[in-house]
Amino acid sequence: MKSPNGMMLWTDLYLSDTGHLSTKEHGAYLLILMAMWRNGGALPDDDTRLARTCRTTLPSWRKIAPNVRALLVDNGDGTLSQKRLSIELGKALCRIRKNTTAGIKGNEAKSLKKQELAHANGNATRTLLNLNLQKERKIQNLKSANSHSPMSIHDIESPDGKFLITADEIQHWQADMPLINVKNQIKSALKFFIEGGKIKTEREFRSALGPWLAKREQTARENQAARLRQEAIDAKVRTPQSRRISEVMP
């Protein structure tokens, strides 16, 4: 595993352990620690390579080596390490492994969520397509019925002659609102808003027309529901009476 980019340096501990070092020895020691961190926590115990690591000549390194080596650990396998650095590097690598594992799990969860979302979107798209198809079929049925009817749907012109409500618009609304006569409701709305002087522009009328039709469709649905409930109540009332009559009759 690649070593972490940032090396932890406990300044208080460092200064307490290195108070006896000279400026050159400090520089050499820090360069060795940095190289160890990048090299997985250890360096070869070789004076030539250590001198190169410290950016100095071999004779200069050998002059400062005793004090620097005293702070390092001989691993017995031809390498050198440093006790505190090894501990901190182990902690950092452990955090990297945990973060990597968490990242993999997080990516798996995100991938699963994306798949579920894509599946849900696919279902929603199919549902929307089915609804649009049903709506188009209703419109085609209306067109087919109207083509054979003496009361076929035509464009409706506003009382002031400034705009038209087209037959296609009327058919679309009728498909969405089957319980009301959309054509008659549009005429009523034109009379109320335009002739009544409450609205003067086509844009204002079209903004008001949608709620007008929706409110009447809702009223029709409520009336239909009330009628069905009353019919169910009446049916329950009639059933015991019919049973009693059948029991009396021979």
The pLDDT of residue 154: 82
Contact 80, 45 (CB under 8 A): yes
The pLDDT of residue 244: 55
Averaged pLDDT of the chain: 82
221-228 long-range contacts, CB within 8 A, separation 24+? 221/179, 224/179
Contact 238, 210 (CB under 8 A): no
Please report which confidence band the pLDDT of residue 141 belongs to, taking 50, 70 and 90 as the band edges: low
Q: Which CATH architecture has domain 1-113?
A: Orthogonal Bundle (1.10)
Question: Model confidence over 8-21: pLDDT tens digits?
Answer: 788 888 898 899 99
By DSSP bridging, strand 73-74 and strand 156-157 are unpaired
Please report which confidence band the pLDDT of residue 151 belongs to, taking 50, 70 and 90 as the band edges: very low
CA dist., res. 18 & res. 71, Å (int): 8
Residue 167 in tokens? 């037959």
Domain segments of the chain: what residues?
1-113, 153-248
Residue 209 has pLDDT above 60, yes or no: yes
Characterize 7-46 residue by residue with b for buried, 16 or more Cβ atoms within 10 angstroms of its Cβ, and e for exposed.
Answer: beeeeeebeebeeebeebbebbbbbbbebbbeeebbbebe
